Structures are given as C-alpha cells and as structure tokens.
Structure 1
C-alpha cells in the first residue's frame, strides 16, 4: 500500500553493503504493517549496493543520494526527507522482524508520552544465521543515567522515533544553514548513543522498550583492535560533549559509564583476537568501578573468565574451544 503521508518512514543509510542490502530491503517489504515508506540513502558508495536497491519495483521505496557524509549524515538526510509520523532506523546490514513496525506502532499510538520506542535484538552472523546470544535490554524506568551507562537501545537499528519528539532537537548544519541535523555529524562512531543521551538529558524525551527481539543485528568479523581504540576515543568525545550541558549527570555517573564501556570493549578485543589488550581494558574497568562486579556478577565474571582463558590458551585456541558455547557472546 502506498500513501503520500505514510505512518512510518524507514531510514536506511547505504554505503558499500552489496552483500547485505537485499536482505535488509526484503525485511522491510515483508512487514506485516504495510503503511510505510523506505528511504534508501545513497552515501556515495562505490559497489553494487545502489544497483540492487534500484532493481526493486515498489512505490514505497524512495532513493536519496548524497556525497559521503558518514552514518550520522546519511541518517540526517533520510530523516529530513521522511514524511511519516514515526521514523524507524535500519542499518543496511541488519534486518527487521516481520512484526517490528506493527508492534512499535501499537506501542507509540497507545503511549503518546513516549518519544523513542525500542526492543531487543537477535544477533546474527555474516551469513544471517542466528547466534546464541541476544540483546535483551531494560524496557521501562529508563532515565539519562541508564542510557549513559547501559544504552538500552543497543544498536542503531532498534530505535523507532516519534517525529514530534525529535523535531525540536534539530539544529542547522554549521556549513549549510538550511540543512537540518539530528545526529551530530562530527561523530563517525558513537553517534547513536550521543543522540540518545542528548534526547533524554537535554530534551527530556521519554524512552521505553517493548518485549521481543525485533531487530536482527549482524555481527561481521574482520575489524582490527585499532578500531576499538577509535571507538573508545569517540565515546569519550561523547562524554565530553554531554558534560557541557549535563555536568551533574557526568559527575554522578561518568566513571561508571566509562567502566561499562571498557568492559564491553574488552569483550570485543577477545572477539577480535587481542587477548592482552582485552586484559588491559577489563583491568581499567574494574579499577574505575569495582562495584560493577557486584552489580552485574554474571556478565563481569563471564567477561573476566573469557579474558583470562584467552590469555592462558591463546586467543585462537580459546575461540575454537569456546565456539560451541559462546558463539557471538564474546
């Protein structure tokens, strides 16, 4: 069904994802809730991604092209072009559960005070096969401190935004007054958590989740440990920006948030094959917030055991032995 003003706008940034974009588009077209538009934002890639997108014959698909601006810039372009009352974000290597839009529509229609609706995510591997772990976040009682420390939204394909809640947040681009921005385009990483915290801490936008694993979040191997460093530096920039408008939030929760982030990056370092780096990251996390081990003993204990085993056995041998039990979890 095509309407000039759909209930939903699905915004999908695209940059060199020819292997996965077809699955992402198919997951949107397969939605049980059909009153949507899919805005595919061509972010200046060089592979066959846009050829694949253009081959679809569905009037609900709209293609917008731009020179490369990164993920934040592509999302801004898509949001600016969108017409729906609700905006669902989907990265082009992820997929939606067939009922995702329907369930978020029910949630947001029934609760006008909620500005951001989200749900848990099923982890899938590069081939699209389910992994043995999932993101199952806290769903209610969410405040800025919880977003800062635990980021319940979890990933960039989980959130559904109420247009009226995010319109007041838009600012003009520094180089183009008429270009509107929601995500901060100075960030090439951590742009989503920066936006969630700003929505909550600065603009009092309410976040609430719903039951279910409604996003299929793809884990793609091949990143380098250097990317972990970049991710941490970008995350720290987010903390510095937040401190400028919410100093009390950072004073009260900044150290704890940093510890949780370091623990997460320690798990990523094990996954990427750098056991020694993982040990350093986890050690720093526990020094910053020793109570983390008491607050979340299972997750901290599993992370510690994985880091220790990887250092004793060697990462390659550890991953081979642990694969049947910890696939996707480290």
Structure 2
C-alpha cells in the first residue's frame, strides 16, 4: 500500500546537514510517509548511508550533478504518495508539520492543491526571524502583484500529486527562483491554503544562492522570457525584476547590460528610487557615488538582523516545543 506522503530531499556532499534534515522528517508525528533522498552527483561521499536509518528511506544516486530542480523531479517521478513534500538538505521541519498540513488538505475542497506554512529563518550565529504565510485562496495575481511576492518556500509546501503533475514539474532550466516559478504555474489552476505560523526552519548561510550573481541573472531572465506577458501586466514586479538584474549585472561588471536593465526598471516604474540610484552609481563618478551613498544611508531601512542583531519581534519556539536542534 502506498504511503500518504512522499518526502523529496535533494542533496550533494553535505552529510552533517543531511543528517539534521532527515532527523527532522523521522521525528514527524505523521508516520505514513516515504523519504526519497536524491544524491545529485556526489563527489565526496554518496549518501546511501541514509537507508540504514529507517526502512521508509530510499536513496537515489544521479551519476552527474544536474541541480536541485532535476533532483527533485527525479524524486517526484519515483514517488508514490498522494501528497508530496520537499525539504532542502540544510533545513528542518517542526515535528507537527506534516500532520497539520495533511489534515488541512484532507478537509479542503478538491480545488485546493497546496498548503504551505510560515517559516523560521535562522543564521549560524543563532539569530532568528519569523516570516508568516499570508496569502491563500487564489494567489495568482498576488504572486505578481506584490513587490516581493508571497513567502512560499519549497520546504513549507505540501502539494497534491495531481496538482503537481497538472502544473508540471520543476523547470530545470531555471537555476534561481524556480520555486516561485512553480508556484505561478500551480496558482494558475489551483488554490493555496496557508498556515500562518512557522512549521519549518530555513537556515540562512553567508554564501547562499542569492549571492551567486550568475545563477540569479540566468534564473530571472528565464522567468522573464517564460512569463513575459504576465510580468509586463504587473509593472511593479517588472521593475523589481529588472532592478535585481541590474544590480547583479553591476556586480559582474557588465555595466552596459546593467544600465539597460535599470533603465527598464525606471521606465515601467519611475518612482523606483533604488533603480535610479543604482543607474547613476553605474557611471562611477566619485561625486555622484558619494552623494547617493550618503542619501541611500539616510533612506534605506536598517537591516539589523543581517548585521548581527535580531529584530525585536523575533521569537522562536523553544527547543522543547519544536524538537529542533538549536
């Protein structure tokens, strides 16, 4: 008999982190599950040792690295559960995550294809920040309409198998923001349910994917090409997307392309002052740079959490309640 839930974990050469993430799955109060660990072309040590931890775990090894989206797709194709969940190998779940989400999908109308939760962000220094899940129902326009989208993280999702197959699997040609892109396709045909409070822990690392400009640029350009009509229908989102492209092109010293992206960001949303500032700074005049750096420091919000102090409202479940390692 097939398990109710299939859990897909892509991994590559991160044993300590994988041990922690798998442990959080095995601590789930919901027990009717299978775990598929997809090893994305290991170069140091295969993760086949995970099969010794629990008979519900299967290990699949890819001979060559194909990226996390391809690894997730391999896991999906090999899974049998009616519901599918995902967990990155460096993150964790609260022990009641699956139990609460299965209960919601079981009771939800058939047009609800996804349930997701808030998340707890942690840094290696122990700082904590909470992000609530706020959008539910028909969220398609909200994904484009809000400047930062809605905080749907892949670890927080539980998806009906039929919904995922209907929307299509992960786009393996998108190396960054592939979760957002999948949510767009899901939201076009299915409704979302939300559990506001965190049920996952997402670990933030200094050398995360968001700092890899080449991947960010490739992912954002692919998204623009694939969903151009919808992006252009939402100028605020269009402006943010091209601001991001411009900033990352500047980091790679592709100044001419950066100016084209920033100019578009300004053209579709003239009050995008951040895009204006970066556009002027791209000319690298000492006087211009000094003026706008000073101005930016005055108007830019303080990101104390990233600088080493948690915001006042940051709270976390105690280890006793969550069962997670500190």
- Matches of 1:74 and 1:136, distance apart in 2: 28
Aligned with 2:199 (options 192, 214, 231):
214
Q: Is the 8 A contact 1:153 1:159 kept in 2?
A: no
- 1:153-192 aligned at under 5 Å gives the runs 153-170=151-168, 182-192=169-179
**Which structure's CA Rg is the greater one?**
2
Report what 2:221 is aligned to.
Answer: 236
CA offset digits 1:2-37 (Å, max 9, x no partner): xx3111001001112223101100000000111111
5+ residue gaps in structure 2?
A: 252-258, 274-291, 315-326
Query: Is the alpha carbon distance of 1:42 and 1:140 closer, same or farther for their aligned partners in structure 2, counting shifts above 3 Å?
Result: same
1:119-198 residue pairs with structure 2 within 5 A? 119-126=117-124, 129=126, 131-148=127-144, 149=146, 150-170=148-168, 182-198=169-185
> Does 2:216 match 1:251?
no
The one of 10, 13, 23 equivalent to 1:13 is 10
Which of 10, 22, 25 is the matching residue for 2:19?
22
- CA 1:140/1:226 → structure 2, altered by over 3 Å: closer, same or farther? closer
Q: Could you list the per-position Cα deviations for residues 70-89 of structure 1 after superposition, in whole angstroms to 9, with x for gaps in the alignment? A: 11110101011111110001
Q: Unpaired runs of 5+ in structure 1?
A: 171-181, 273-279, 294-306
Give the 3-state SS of the residue equivalent to 1:93 in structure 2. coil
Q: How does 1:259-298 map to 2 (within 5 A)?
A: 259-261=239-241, 288-289=268-269
8 Å CA contact 2:114–2:157 kept in 1: the answer is yes
Aligned length: 281
- Greater CA deviation, 138-147 or 107-116? 138-147
The change in CA–CA distance for 1:234 and 1:267 in structure 2 (over 3 A counts) is closer
**Cα pair 1:41 1:74 within 8 Å, conserved:** yes
Instruction: Compute the TM-score of the two structures, normalised by the length of structure 1.
Output: 0.72
Aligned-partner SS, 1:26: helix
The structure 1 residue matched to 2:76, chosen from 67, 74, 79, is 79
1:61 alignment counterpart: 57
Q: Aligned in 2, Cα 1:140/1:308: closer, same or farther, shift over 3 Å?
A: farther
The alignment yields a C-alpha RMSD, in angstroms, of 3.8
